[in-house]
Amino acid sequence: MNNASGKIGLVGYWDSVCFDEFAGKDKRVNKDLVDIMKNYMAQKTFSRGIESLGAEASMVFMGNTKKSVDYMMRYSHLFEPLPDKYIDSAFLDRIHA
């Protein structure tokens, strides 16, 4: 939701919202954003200010990896390319449904 205009954003209108170019260890990540997404994925609600709103949009996270899926499954994990602030057990748990 846009705080200035009060208009509902993408998760309030669409069936799914895609975050492209999500991977990359060097990306700057706002931990507050991670917490907002965790809450949304757990409760199907989001809040901006004092009002809490419900939504049904799925979240899709896309990004390139530097290694093959076979390599990552054998020697690390599929989320290795994500910035460290996304390596949060509750966040990853919600991505797994």
Is 48 in a helix, a strand, or coil?
strand
Name the burial class of residue 43, with classes exposed (0-12), middle (13-18) and buried (19+) by CB atoms within 10 angstroms of its CB.
Answer: exposed
Q: Tell me, what's the pLDDT at 52?
A: 82
| 77 found inside a domain | yes
Please compute the mean of the pLDDT values over residues 63-67 and round it to a whole number: 85
Strand bridging mode 16-19 / 58-61: parallel
Task: Give Cα separations from 56 to 5, 45, 73, 88, 95 (angstroms).
Answer: 22, 9, 31, 23, 15
Q: Which residues contact 75 (CB under 8 A, 6 or more apart)?
A: none
Residue 53 falls within a domain, yes or no? yes
Q: Would 1 be classed as within a structural domain?
A: no
In a domain, 17, yes or no: yes
Residue 40 within any structural domain of the chain: yes
Whether 72 maps to a domain, the answer reads yes
Number of domains in the chain: 1
**When comparing pLDDT for 3 and 41, which is higher?**
41
| Domain interval for residue 62 | 10-95
Q: Which of 24, 38, 33, 36 is nearest to 82 (CA)?
A: 24
Q: Decide if pLDDT at 71 tops 70.
A: yes
Task: Examine the pLDDT at 63 and tell me if it is beyond 80.
Answer: yes
Contacts of 87 (CB under 8 A, 6+ apart): 79
- pTM of the complete model: 0.72
In a domain, 76, yes or no: yes
Q: Tell me if 22 is assigned to some domain.
A: yes
pLDDT of residue 8: 81
Tens-digit pLDDT profile for residues 5-61: 878 888 888 899 998 888 888 888 888 888 888 988 898 888 767 778 888 899 888
